[in-house]
Structure 1
Amino acid sequence: MNIAVIFGSRSVEHDVSITSAYGVMKGLEKMGTHTIFPIYISRSGKWIYDKNFINIETFAHYNDENYKDTSFEIDFSVSKKLCFSQKRKGLFTKKEKIEIDFVFPILHGMNGEDGSIQGIFDILQVPYMGPSVLGSALGMNKIVMKNVFKSLGLPITNYLIFDKNNYDATKVEILGFPIIVKPANLGSSIGISKVEKKEDLADAVELAFHYDQNIIIEVCVQNLVELNCAVSEKDNEVITSLVEQPVGASEFLSFEEKYVSNEGGTMQGVKNRVKIPAEISDELTKQIQNYSKIIYKEFFCHGGAPRIDYLYDKVNDKLYVNEINTIPGALQMHLWVKSMPISDFLSNLIKVGFEKAKDKEINIDFQSNIIGHTINFTK
């Protein structure tokens, strides 16, 4: 089977996507049963295939200019396969073509995780890993996300929502300090600030608005323990991973702590700085896993393996749902290794992805006389 791993894209989480895709491609490569096509979307939006992209070292000195004659375009005349054709260099140049049976969109943030690329796959009827358009869009916007959590009766922190035209610092001060300020549509802790006092609020708000037109400001959980749980499905049953506890130098993990080591080298998420399973009670573990299953279903995550993040006040024994990541870093494969081999985890995502595609094959052949009536009416 030809499997494409698509990554990069025009997103501030572009580099995180590259490191995530590297981990997924290595997992697929070890299976030895599929042909992997690494397809990179550059920051300028160019789609490029190069078999060497499976090695992350290729991106150490990447330059668009080196691939100006090797970009590919999607062939929209074919359905049920993702077909790429290399842009023609000359009138008599034969175009290289690639036919893809299944797609792993390992994209983070806007222009990839938000439902935009999933819409392309749905139109072409191409099977792929992850939620479809609706689930992806719901999981991208933190404002909508919070509102859905609230409607489900899940515990969340108090929060305020602003756009650039209605921001009001006096309302924020009513929440009290410390608070967390973050953009509404980003992940990987980009643009997020913890604000301890009023004097630092303006800078945090300016930073968040730099990345998004909308921001969310929420009460900062004290005595904080961050907890994460991944969710997927197998044999029509929703399943959860072990609960992990990230261990950072600060109360909440920054972008640098998540993806950059002290020596400056990139890391595959936080797998070297987590406790698995988390050092929490069995009761709390079950509560987190139950919440995660509810969120998986209500956010239409069929076909994916999202990660749900939680905030826990260990002194007051209060748990809060923080957010859902529909395409988490490297698919959080490290959370599943004690439940199943990585090869089984990836094979299952492919299996469910094909099942999801089949479920979407609805009968659109509805016969009517509306065109004839319209023609007669215009005469």
Structure 2
Amino acid sequence: MSSFPPMRTNDAKVFGRVAVLMGGTSSEREVSLDSGRNVLEALQSRGVDAHAVDGIPALVDALVHGKFDRVFNILHGNKGGGEDGVLQGLLDALEVPYTGSGVLGCALSMDKIRTKQVWMSAGLPTPRFERLAVGADVRAAALRLGLPVFVKPSSEGSSVGVARVVDEPGIDEAIRVATQYGGEMLMEQMVVGDELTVPVLGDVALPSIRIVPKQGWYDYNAKYLADDTQYLCPGLEGAQEDAIRALALDAFRAAGCSGWGRVDVMRDRNGALQLLEVNTAPGMTSHSLVPKSARTVGVEFDELCWRILEQTLGARA
């Protein structure tokens, strides 16, 4: 795969005043605050004039008063978060550079169902699924797909609101989750095999990570709270590693994404790869995966944050 290009600049002054946007009001607020604090510390350690901003209203107020020159977006989620394209459209209108994907990539990839539809149209592999509109017959959909399945909100992240259904009694839990979230849900065939993720930085797919929870599956607890989840990087070897990284780049671009992000992939017991989703503002916590992968190719956390911020220099692709 491609190697890293040299950094564009070593002068922190070219960035001007940087807003590190974090927190917000989405269901992922606490993860975003944790990520934001880490990014802020890393940028400041390299001399960047970076400042924390909690949520979009505070950012708008600061930008209207000319307080910032660019935005490092680490606001997770939708509905008050920074990954659904609304923030990106606002910043485009204000002509303020920002990190990560633009309007199209954020809006599309936040919607898991429509991302999968795009991948299918491009001939990229993804598990079979059903769209569950409000009031849909969850039991009938599960039986059509065949158990086991996952049921999850179409537009949430960080494993928020995910139900794992392995038998018919478990369908009742899926119905409860669907009722709780109220919006459109995705029911997806569960792929039994290895769970992997591939970070993307610019035009480079970083080494994959194979995720091995000590028990159960990779839920919110295993992602952010547990200390016994194993992360194997690279997750695959040789031609298989090349294949998953190439697939991740294809999936990332097909979804209209740019800048940086993370593509989640399953490998079934026959070795076939299946795309799950794209995250356009991945976590940057102590448990997060993009920094783990970058570190294996010699890019430490502070350099990673610098390289992401560098993407705001020049015209957006």
TM range (shorter): 0.7 to 0.9
**Higher mean displacement: 246-255 or 145-154:** 246-255
Q: Any residues of structure 2 matched to 1:175-214 within 5 Å, and which?
A: 175-214=145-184
Q: Distance in 2 between matches of 1:168 and 1:246?
A: 29
Change (3 A) 1:73 1:327: closer
Give structure 1 regions of 4+ aligned residues with deviation exceeding 4 angstroms.
Answer: none
Match of 2:315 in 1: 356
Is contact 2:99–2:312 with CA below 8 Å preserved after alignment?
yes
Which position in structure 2 is the counterpart of 1:21? 36
**Alpha-carbon separation, structure 2, partners of 1:259 and 1:145:** 25
TM-score by length of structure 2 reads: 0.86
Closer, same or farther: CA 297–73 of 1 in aligned 2, 3 Å: closer
Per-residue deviation, residues 64-105 of structure 1 (Å, max 9, x unmatched) = xxxxxxxx7526xxxxxx344xxxxxxxxxxxxx61111011
Larger radius of gyration: 1
Distance (Å, rounded) in 1 between the aligned partners of 2:175 and 2:122: 29
Q: Tell me the distance in 2 between the aligned counterparts of 1:141 and 1:209.
A: 19
Distance of 1:11 and 1:226 partners within structure 2 = 26
Name the structure 1 match of 2:296: 338
Deviation, 1:305, is 1.1
Give the SS at the match of 2:295: coil
CA separation in 1, counterparts of 2:215 and 2:103?
35
Choose which of 35, 38, 61 in structure 1 pairs with 2:52. 38
Larger RCO (alpha carbons 8 Å, 6+ apart) = 2
Aligned length: 295
SS of alignment partner, residue 100 of structure 1: coil
Distance in 2 between the 1:116 and 1:322 partners?
Answer: 23
Equivalent position to 2:267, from 312, 315, 339: 312
In 2, are the aligned partners of 1:209 and 1:215 still within 8 Å (CA)? Answer: no
151-160 or 123-132, which deviates more: 151-160
- 1:249-282 Cα shifts (integer Å, max 9, x gaps): 34531101111136xxxxxxx9x7311122x231
Letter in 2 for 1:106: I
Q: For 2:199, which of 226, 230, 234 is the aligned residue?
A: 230
Among candidates 128, 140, 144, match of residue 114 of structure 2: 144
Partner amino acid for 1:259? Answer: Y
Indicate conservation of the 8 Å contact 2:200/2:249, yes or no: yes
Partners of 2:283 and 2:103 lie apart in 1 by: 19
Shift of 1:17: 0.7
SS in 1 for 2:67: strand
Task: Report the secondary structure of 2:97's partner residue.
Answer: coil
CA contact (8 A) 1:185 1:212 kept: no
Output the CA distance in 1 between the equivalents of 2:54 and 2:300.
27
Partner deviation per Cα, 1:298-335 (whole Å, 9 max, x = no partner): 22222x2110011112x322211111101111182222
Distance in structure 1 (CA, Å) of the matches to 2:115 and 2:212: 25
From 278, 282, 294, the counterpart of 2:250: 294
Matching residue's letter, 2:296? K
TM-score normalised according to structure 1 size: 0.73
Hey, what does 1:363 align to over in structure 2?
none
Q: Offset of 1:154 from its aligned partner?
A: 1.1
Post-superposition offset of 1:212: 4.5
Provide, for residues 93-139 of structure 1, a one-character-per-residue CA deviation record: whole Å limited to 9, x for no partner: xxxxx611110111111132101111111110000101111110011
User: How large is the Cα RMSD of the aligned pairs?
Assistant: 2.1
Q: Please, which of 344, 347, 365 is the counterpart of residue 306 of structure 2? A: 347
Q: Which one of the candidate residues 253, 259, 283 is aligned to 2:239?
A: 283
Aligned-residue offset at 1:225: 1.1
Structure 2: how far apart are the matches of 1:231 and 1:100? 27
In 1, are the aligned partners of 2:138 and 2:171 still within 8 Å (CA)?
no
Is the 8 Å Cα contact of residues 226 and 252 (structure 1) preserved in structure 2?
Answer: no
Structure 1, unaligned runs of 5 or more:
48-71, 76-81, 85-97, 263-269, 360-379
Cα distance in 1 for residues equivalent to 2:184 and 2:212: 29
Number of the residue aligned with 1:259? 224
Partner of 1:267: none
Q: Given that residues 233 and 296 in structure 2 are in contact (C-alpha distance below 8 angstroms), is that contact kept between their aligned partners in structure 1?
A: no
Q: Secondary structure at the match of 1:296?
A: helix
**In structure 1, what is the equivalent of residue 213 of structure 2?**
248
Match for 1:351: what amino acid?
E
Distance in 2 (CA, whole Å) between partners of 1:187 and 1:73 is 24
Q: Provide, for residues 127-171 of structure 1, a one-character-per-residue CA deviation record: whole Å limited to 9, x for no partner.
A: 010111111001100111110111111111111111113335223
